[in-house]
Every structure is written in C-alpha cells, then in structure tokens.
Structure 1
Amino acid sequence: MTAVETTGLAPQPPAGALATAPFTVNPGGPPEVVLTPAGETGYPGVLLEQTGTDKVPSQDVYVALPRGKGLRFVSEGGNDYLLTVMNAKGQTTYRGILSSDGRALTFENVDPALSGKGSTSTAWLSVKASDNARLGATYLTFCVGDRTSGSTSVRVVDHIPFSVAPGGPPDVTLDHAHPVGYPGVVLTAGSDGTVSAQDVYVALPWQKELQFFAEGGPGYLLTVQDKHGNQKTYHGIPWSHGQALTFQGVDPALSGAGSTSVAWVAVKAVKNAPPSKDPMTLTFCVGDRASASTPVQVDQQP
C-alpha cells in the first residue's frame, strides 16, 4: 500500500471529531448599555471575526445573565426571545429557548454571518433591569459554538441625567395674525442610556393675561419632538384654577449622551389683554428638572 505524504499539512482531527471553527468572539457590537431599574431596554452583544479561510458553519449560541444583578431577558415580536446577527449585508433574527429559571437562552443553528477571513459580524439580544437591580457594571456571557466571551458592558444607574432649558419653538408673539403661540423647552440627555418617562407640570405666569389653548378638541396637549422631527402628543390634566396642566408618563425622547428633544404647549392671550411690557415665560417642570419656557409677548393692538 502506498503511503500518503502528509509533510507540510496541518494536523487533521480524528474521524468524527468537530474541527474548531476559525473565528473569535469578543465584547462588541452595540455600545455600552446603560439601564435604569424598571426602565428602558438595552442590547448587549458581541463581535465575531473570522480568523481563518475555512467557511464558518452555523453554531449553537448560549447566552447567560449574570447572577445577582437583577437583569432579565426581554421578549420581542410577541412572546419570542430573539438573537440578532448583523453583518454588512443586513441582519437576521433567531428565536431562543428560555431556561426553566429564566437565566439563560439557547439559540440553535445560528449563522454567524462571516463571509471570509477578516470579516466581522455582531450579535445581540435585549435585556432590562428589574426594579430591584443592583447598581453598577456587569455583562452577559455569550457562548458561540466553542467560543466564549463577555458581552459589552451593562451599567445599571439609578437615573439618566438630563437638563431642561428654554428653547425649541422660537420666541412667541401673540397678536391678531398669530393668536396662538407655542412656548416650550429643550431637553438634553447628560449621559448614555435612555431617559425614562417623566411627569410634566406646566404653569402659566400668574396674572399675566395668558391661558392655555385646547388643541384637537377639548383636550390640552403637550407635544414632544425628538431629534429626528418625530412628534408625540400627550393629553394634560388641568388644575381647577386653570393656571397649570399636568401630563403623566411623558417620554422625553432622549436616548444617548447629548441627544435632544423639544416640548411645548399652546397658549393664547385672554380677550382684550393689554400689550405686555416685558416678555413672559411659562414654568416647565419635567420630573425633577425645571425651566422657564421661551419668552411670550402679547401685542393685540389692531
């Protein structure tokens, strides 16, 4: 029998053995995740990179939550727990199997979406912090085939700081041509993460001949516009004296450090109100942050 020359060839696995796939897994993909207890959803993940020339086959993926940190998986698209894998060509989602204790997910036959040596992809899933989550940084454990890695950092904080300042719509002048105006404020996120819903209180200046204006029927509305120009309105609860409105559960539309949004209400001058000598402002309280609105002038002279 003629011997087979093997000089210069890489060692081969024994028959029936699974060759180690030529790829690495490291923390990466989505940026650091910042969560607040019982707050928004975050997306920790990993970065996959192909290190060899052989095609990387589908892998089983196991993801475990850290113990004692108060994190939980979040179902998406109904009751399904999803793993998203994305490369330069697009993304694919996979349904996971939740463990009996709710602390781990398993995804079968996941295509790592690696197309050649040096190619990369990212994989992530969604989590939330429970209302009793421990503050501080942690990570999830990802096992992709025989590769393991921690996820991007997950940091739980007691709140996402933000500021409120006069801004948004331009200064308001109420006259015969413009009987309704929209004074407001600009909101700015102070760090990464998504600012949770806030209650908003808006008060008219005392004895300044202004009143709230009902839009869209009998309701008084607060409009919040995000950085992309998308708007959402909230119905307000008027106080008995008519000088203030309260809006509950308002999403400030702030996600990511430096992100901004604007919020405003509609006002008009009372009938026969005299011209204002000085600009007036409304008071906006957004959660525990307060600010005056953009200035309002009244000039109803014919």
Structure 2
Amino acid sequence: MSTQQEVIEIERDGAALLLAPHAGGRLMTWRVGGEPVIHWPDAPDWSNPAKIRGGNPLLFPFLGRHFVDGEIGHWRNPEGVVHALPTHGFARDLPFTWTRDADGHGVRMTLVDSDATRAGYPFAFRFEAAYRIVDAHTLEVELTTSNPGEVPLPYYAGHHFYFHLPHGQRAESSVQLPHTERRRQLPDGSITAAEAGLASYSLADPAIVDVFHCLTRQPDEPMLLNLPGLGRTVRLELQQPDSVPWYAVTTWTESDASDFYCVEPWIGLPDAIHNGRGLRWLAPGKTETASLRLVVTPAA
C-alpha cells in the first residue's frame, strides 16, 4: 500500500514521531535530536505490515501465541467454544482512526469491533493507543481498552518496541531490570516454571531472546536499556498513576545481524486466556489504561 497520505508526523522540541494509523496504528519511529530511538527499516513491505521489523506493533486483544490442543492460533472460551485468532491478535493488521491532540504534541488512534474482528473475538470493544511527546526526551504512551458490550471482555495487550541498536554494539549494551522472574513459552504453549531473574543482562546474551521477565511487584525503579555505543540510555518507566499493572517485559531480537533489539512491556503472558497469567476481564461499561513513559538520557 502507499503511505504517502497515511503517515502523520508529530514534532516537539527537536523530537519527532512518525505514525501510520491505517497500518495497524503503527508507531514507525521516534527520533530524538534527529537520531532514531525506535528502529524503522529502509524498505518496509507495506503489503504485510505485521512482518515489518520496526516501530511498535500493537498487540491486542491477546498477545503472543495461543493454543488449543497443541494447535497454534486458536483459543477456547469458558463455554468450550474454540475461536481462531492470529498470534499477537489482529490490531497490528487493521486500520485505526486517529485524532491529533489539540496542541499538536500527540495523537490518539482508535480501533473498534467490526466484522473483521468478531469471528475470532466475539466482543464489543474500543481499543486506543495514544502517543504524546512530553518534552525533547520523553514519550508518553497509553493503551486504553473499553468495554461497551454487555458481557465481560477478556484481553491482555502489549507493546513490541523495536529499539534501534546496530548489531555490532550488542556486547556493550545491556538491559537493567527491577526484581523479576524469568519464564518462557514451550512449543506446546505452556509456560515454564519461574526462575530467579538477574538485575542486568547483556544484549549479546542469547539466553534472553524470547524471555518473559515477569515483574514480581510493581517497580519503583525504572527499567533501563543501556546503549553506550549510541551514547544513550532509554528509561522505561512502567509505574504510572492509575495504570493497569504491567505483568512482564519481554526481550527479543530476530537474528545476530538485526540492527534492533525489542523490549516489550506486556499486560499478560502468551496464552493467558488459558493459563490466566495477566488475563484481564473488563466489566461491561468499564475502561482501563496501561501507561508508561520512555525517557532518553545520556549514557552513564
């Protein structure tokens, strides 16, 4: 698809966002002082936005992989009815409507239920992603879910931030975490038992690819992505007033040659619709928001 008229730009104090609301509400990139913080490829294949390795794909209504009797891409409701739903849900594949904040410093993008969503997820919903440049180094992000229907709404949403990092700089880069426990998903969809998490990991460590760092309590301290080769640290402030609690942060990259590293705050774990880990049931008429802040500071 052509993006000439579908990409919007938000600028403030030398920071800039590029977003493609009609391509899954995709944040494409965030630049601070002209330098990319969020990675975006030079030649994205817009015919398949879900496979573009960059930006921030929105994960909703369920994130990760879900299974029924070992078959991926299906989930079973409490009454035993099985539905088909793609990995990471459908939001990243669908067009969002959007409005710019009155002062021009942010944008709110909205997806509501439609014929395209009800077959695999038979619920009324309103899902909104909001990005706002607070200042030259700070980005505020919100995921808001509303239930306009008459039955409880099951969901667990998340982010898939692709942080820019030349692959040759991974060994000197690290992620610093609050108190966590490590888990993984096995090929049959089950989640491993918890292992004690470390305070810091090298981004060159293959053992943290596709690992869920589960927060054992709501963190008072931020998570830090230390990128000395780029002269920056990215601070993920997960503890925000009135926010839904974040359940885990997932670390992932595609290959040794990928010039990005993904750090993904999630409300729940994969297959939570069956295992309950982070699964939320939103009551009819209710709305809740998961908030975070990303702050870029000079490398320590």
**TM-score between both structures, scaled by the size of structure 2:** 0.22
Q: Kindly indicate which of the two structures has a greater share of residues assigned to helix.
A: 2
**TM-score between both structures, scaled by the size of structure 1:** 0.22
